[in-house]
Chain A
Amino acid sequence: MELKSKVPSGPIERKWDKHRFEMKLVSPANKRKFTVVVVGSGLAGGAAAATMSELGYNVKCFCFQDSPRRAHSIAAQGGINAAKNYQNDGDSVYRLFYDTVKGGDFRSREGNVYRLSQVSVNIIDQCVAQGVPFAREYGGLLANRSFGGAQVSRTFYARGQTGQQLLLGCYQALEKEVSKGGVTMYPRTEMLDLIVISGRARGIVVRDMVSGEISSHLADAVVLASGGYSNVFYLSTNAKGSNATAIWRAYKRGAAFANPCYTQIHPTCIPVSGDHQSKLTLMSESLRNDGRVWVPKRKEDCGKRPQDIPDADRDYYLERKYPSFGNLSPRDIASRAAKEVCDEGRGVGPGGRGVYLDFADAIRRLGKEKIAERYGNLFEMYQRITDENPYEVPMRIYPAPHYTMGGLWVDYNLMSTIPGLHVAGEANFSDHGANRLGASALMQGLSDGYFIVPLTIGDYLGSNKLEPVSVDSPEVKATEAAVRQRTEKLLSVQGSRTVASFHRELGRLMWEYCGMARSAEGLKQALAVIPKLRDEFWHDVRVLGTGAELNQSLEHAGRVADFLELAELMCIDALHREESCGGHFRVEHQTPDGEALRHDEQFAYVAAWEYAGDAQPPVLNKEPLVFENVPLSQRSYK
């Protein structure tokens, strides 16, 4: 497989302009002749569907939720970055680009990241025009806050509900296009396979989750915007329905999967409270603007009430270890530091897996009212879950799986290795390298959806002559048959274990061996166990009911079956990457003071894995990463 990144030549600040001019256009009259399928209705999918419909394409948009407004982008709390420099604090497109490449630990593609930074300013304009109620200053202009990994204030926000407000803006634009007839929306419909004809993506096979009907939707191009795969860990901050099925099915049809081991463990989540736990709740990183992270200096103090531990006996470990970024250190670094102090036995709360996030100083400095205005809804959320009042006692937090930087490999046009299959948002791998900075996921989703995919799709359609396809073609029939067979197989096992029990077991395994710290020994162990667990699943899972009805166990079973395969690829990738970078921390590769140690000479590449059949190991393809603008250096936040 040849990986052509197709990043345009020339100076970095001219690449996107040059490319936009060189791309083929489809005339307005011809656009309506093309049909594009979009899978997912979050920021990337919803924005792409709405924008392509505005341009004149016929769009079919699919989501598994009962409404496109419920896509998991809605849960993003803290904010969205943009290089507006409204604060006059030295920000620029170049600085956002630099911060993102460095924050990603030099494992992302410079050309894509620069474009993301350029487009970031248009996103804010677009969202304001749509009526997104961003926070404002008394003068009526937009407010900003700081986020991890940056020394400027470039994050725009709508209380602690930024994702919700951006998604609703996008959803409203989508519904506007639905009412005009440009988009047909298919809610409660799940993509179960990709249709590939003559080497091109030409549609998808879906299951209507209410009637159980399996059908095909043909198209001239397909956009996957189905989100990330953190739920491979069972416990994550993702919504319960978030899954990898769409991208995994595409992988098995020939799309390369890039850097599957790059997962982000978010430092500030509410700790696990018991075995019944079904998901983990994030506390926005924005809290680290005013909250101070600490644990007791001595193990013996861990059982004491936090208010009884004097300042002198507290270890504000982020401020101590990283004086210039302090509590705003990037996520991977903050997460690992929390794990370290807990491993030393200095963790707090049940099971000793927690650190304090303390607002006492901020409340003294700014007053309770100001803190309530900034974080009120997050404090309420915390209190509901833990029954503790964070205005009076410090929050307890611990890292949890949150985001996956890995995803389907795409070129500069966001097209995968299958022509016609574009991948947007968290589902692709492109912009965050080995670690994503806070408030950059919303930026990337909207950048891909509003400003990139709608144009690059035009280039694909304008420069390729597509042959007509029919639902009666053998490829379509075969793909549908495979989906039916798999569904029937899941229902026919009639074993003894619930789907959830398998998912929990896989999650524990992945958290243990492919979580915050990874070792060759642990990964090998995981690789020995996963195939056995998968085998047991296919022989002993119990899915009741039929395929011809709303069947939530069946939906879950299909997703867990895919996670059981993806988990293996993640471990293979993590084992092969003999270095530490960003969220991928191999215990064998660290600096004397415990920081991630990259090996650029060997590993400055994208690992794009190619499916080679169920009985064969996947094939590794490498896209070398070239850094012409941001010189490779060891990341330092000290």
Chain B
Amino acid sequence: MNLTLHVWRQPGPDARGGMERYEARDISPDMSFLEMLDVVNESLVESGKPPIAFDHDCREGICGSCGMMINGVAHGPMRGTATCQLHMRSFGDGDTIYIEPWRSRAFPVIKDLVVNRSAFDRIIASGGFITAPTGSPQDANNIPVAKRDADEAMDAAACIGCGACVAACPNGSASLFTAAKISHLGLLPQGQPERERRATRMVAQMDAEGFGHCTLYGECQEACPKQISIDTIARMNRDFLVATRHEHEEKVLGGG
């Protein structure tokens, strides 16, 4: 296959970027999308031009490092697939492909297709955990969890933190990411004591990072490589509302 690529090149965080055109020649349909970029990069280096920077690591769809807009779609045309799992057989000979970094104010570009997603770490740090210091727990089977709850928690916990949900959202909202963690922990008995506090804090941090609000476009669940459902957002909203109500009541009662 031969392809024409238009790739966003930006030398640094404060530098001006622009689209550059490259030809990708003799691409095998069995290559992954990133292996296609490897081939382009090898030829760029051989001709003395700087290679395209992009984040990647496991190349099997689980670490969440990779991610780019491919023809305007986060992670490209295949549903439930991270960029590294996309194979060139999804494209046709002679195709033109536009490749851009995640688009979001809260994910500033570092270089080319590499963006800064540290806002996600700060959202988790604000409350995305169960406080269980090492060594303190009881026997694991003392906490039975209904299979349905465990399965549903696992569905939400499958999030790989890639940021596709944010990149795909017209509002640049991180609601699916945040809601996935709130749902995972909120569905389990171990997560109950901190459930309300978790929702309040994580939502506040999400707002503080400059992500947009959720207006339920649903683009995020279409782009999610793990196909996490926006049902999780309903859970987050419910937990947030309950928490806000309880806080309010506490203030009123506490004041008396």
Binding site for B on A (CB under 8 A): 47, 50-51, 54, 65-70, 72, 74-75, 84, 86, 122, 124-131, 133-142, 158-159, 161, 163-165, 168, 171-173, 175-176, 178-179, 185, 187, 210, 239-241, 273-274, 276-279, 281-282, 380-381, 384-385, 387, 450-451, 454, 498, 500-501, 542, 544-545, 549-550, 552-553
Contacts and interface: CB of A to CB of B under 8 A. Distances in A.
Contact of B63 (A140, A176, A239, A381): A239
Contacts of A72: 57-58, 63
Interface in B1-53: 11-12, 28, 30-32, 34-35, 38-39, 42, 45-46, 48-51, 53
Given A67-B118, A135-B150, A384-B85, 17 more contacts: A65-B65, A66-B118, A67-B121, A74-B63, A75-B62, A128-B140, A129-B143, A136-B147, A173-B134, A185-B121, A239-B57, A274-B28, A276-B38, A381-B85, A450-B135, A549-B12, A553-B45
A544 B28 contact: no
Interface string B106-117: 000011001011
A278 B34 contact: yes
B120 A67 contact: yes
A545 B112 CA distance: 14
Interface of B: 11-12, 28, 30-32, 34-35, 38-39, 42, 45-46, 48-51, 53, 55-65, 78, 80-81, 85, 87, 89, 110-111, 114, 116-118, 120-121, 124-126, 128-141, 143-147, 150, 153-154, 157-158, 160-161, 184-185, 188, 190-191
B147 A129 contact: no
A279 B59 contact: yes
Nearest to B31: A276
29 contacts: A47-B134, A66-B65, A67-B118, A67-B120, A70-B63, A130-B132, A131-B153, A131-B184, A131-B185, A133-B153, A134-B140, A164-B62, A164-B160, A165-B157, A175-B129, A185-B121, A240-B58, A240-B59, A276-B31, A277-B35, A281-B59, A282-B60, A381-B61, A384-B87, A454-B134, A542-B46, A549-B11, A550-B12, A550-B114
A110 B139 CA distance: 26
B163 to A, nearest CB: 10
A136 B51 contact: no
A158 B64 contact: no
Contacts of B62: 74-75, 161, 163-164
Nearest to B205: A179
Contact of B124 (A65, A137, A172): A172
Given A140-B146, A210-B110, A278-B35, A381 B117 contact: no
A240 B57 contact: yes
Contact of A385 (B39, B85, B120, B126): B85
B88 to A, nearest CB: 10
B19 to A, nearest CB: 19
Contacts of B45: 498, 542, 544, 553
B6 to A, nearest CB: 21
Among A74, A131, A139, A210, max chain B CB count under 10 A is at A131
A165 B125 CA distance: 17
Contacts of A550: 12, 53, 110-111, 114
Nearest to A131: B130
A165 B181 CA distance: 12
Contacts of A125: 137-140
A137 B147 contact: yes
Contacts of B154: 133, 158-159, 165
Given A84-B140, A239-B58, A140 B145 contact: yes
Contacts of A86: 141
Contacts of B63: 65, 70, 72, 74-75, 239
- Please name the 8 residue pairs, one residue from A and one from B, whose CB atoms are nearest each other, closest first: A140-B144, A129-B137, A172-B129, A129-B132, A175-B125, A128-B140, A179-B125, A133-B154
* Chain B CB within 10 A, most for which of A66, A69, A136: A66
B116 A66 contact: yes
Contact of A176 (B81, B129, B137): B129
Task: Give the one of B49, B57, B185 with max A CB within 10 A.
Answer: B57
A557 B205 CA distance: 38
Contacts of A130: 129-130, 132, 190
A164 B184 CA distance: 14
A387 B57 contact: no
Contact of B87 (A47, A54, A385, A500): A385
Contact of B58 (A75, A141, A185, A454): A75
Contact of A276 (B39, B61, B78): B39
